[in-house]
Amino acid sequence: MAVLPIRITGDPVLHTAARRVVDFDESLSTLVRDMEDTMAAAPGVGLAAPQVGVPLRLFVYNWRDEEGRLHRGTAINPELWISPPAVGELDEESESEGCLSIPGERFPLRRAARAILRATELDGSDYEITAEGWLARIFQHEYDHLDGLLYADRLAYPADRLMAKVIRKRSWGSPGLAWTPGIDHLED
């Protein structure tokens, strides 16, 4: 299919709640295939429709866990329930995450260890997944995109200040900025 440009923080579509999907048609199938190709090319483990400029409640995910099990799917009009996040110091290594809409950056963020995702697959079938660890983190991260939140919006001090500095330094934070995996090479 096609690799789509990924919007960079500051684009209004990333900071606005997305609309429910109502039409399960060929254009939705094409969007999902293009999002999967874009996610693979980036590379990433999840991608939400707002990240490619489409304000719909939809994300795709594709992640292989430590045991080699593949977790792959499409979440249309998802609902997400999470356990209370743990308290204490953040682990810079195990709790760092990144975002394709803030390319090349990683900062520690506390997420819930468990999540329950209820969603609809592209074929219209409903499903429920109970996730732990990184899969729960992926679901929370992508679900946030559907509510107009980026992980940068959830960062605590001092990471929030460092992220703001990076965004200013790279001249991000304004509408219309995007990058295309496989075409654009962003500086680290």
Listed in sequence order, the residues at least 6 apart from 71 whose beta carbon sits closer than 8 Å to its beta carbon are: 61, 62, 63, 64, 65, 131, 135
Q: How far apart are CA 113 and CA 103, in angstroms?
A: 24
Answer yes or no: are the C-beta atoms of 95 and 60 closer than 8 Å.
Answer: no
Listed in sequence order, the residues at least 6 apart from 166 whose beta carbon sits closer than 8 Å to its beta carbon are: 102, 105
**Token pair of 145, please?**
């995109």
Characterise 140 by phi-psi region: left (phi > 0), alpha (psi -120 to 50), beta (else): alpha
Listed in sequence order, the residues at least 6 apart from 78 whose beta carbon sits closer than 8 Å to its beta carbon are: 57, 59, 117, 118, 119, 139, 143, 146
187 is catalytic: no
Q: How far apart are CA 77 and CA 66, in angstroms?
A: 28
Give me the catalytic one of 66, 95, 128, 142.
142
Three-state DSSP class for residue 144: helix
Q: Does the annotation list 99 as a binding residue?
A: yes
Q: Which residues are annotated as a binding site for Fe cation?
A: 99, 141, 145
Q: Which residues are annotated as a binding site?
A: 99, 141, 145
Question: What residues are labeled active site?
Answer: 142
